[in-house]
Amino acid sequence: MLEFQVEDMTCGHCVSTITKAIKGADANASVEVDLAKHLVRVEGSAGGEEIADAIREAGYTPVPSK
């Protein structure tokens, strides 16, 4: 399980955009988002850097939390 703090994720649209970006990198990934804690959890076959790059390309700043 990968975890990222995404402090600039502030609304439901952000959640949707980030989820779509992660699914673009790993279509079978399981994505959980806690908007209140600015936390994104991903379980899948893609590596942490690949997921972080997808989040960055969507316009957000991921910081690995584990």
Which whole number is the average pLDDT over 35-42?
97
Distance of CA 45 to CAs 21, 48, 61, Å? Answer: 15, 10, 21
Confidence band, pLDDT 50/70/90 cuts, at residue 4: very high
Distance of CA 57 to CAs 16, 33, 36, Å? Answer: 14, 18, 22
Q: In order of start, what are the domains of the chain with their CATH numbers?
A: 2-64 (3.30.70.100)
Confidence band, pLDDT 50/70/90 cuts, at residue 33: very high
Confidence band, pLDDT 50/70/90 cuts, at residue 66: low
**pLDDT tens per residue across span 6-29:** 999 999 999 999 999 999 999 999
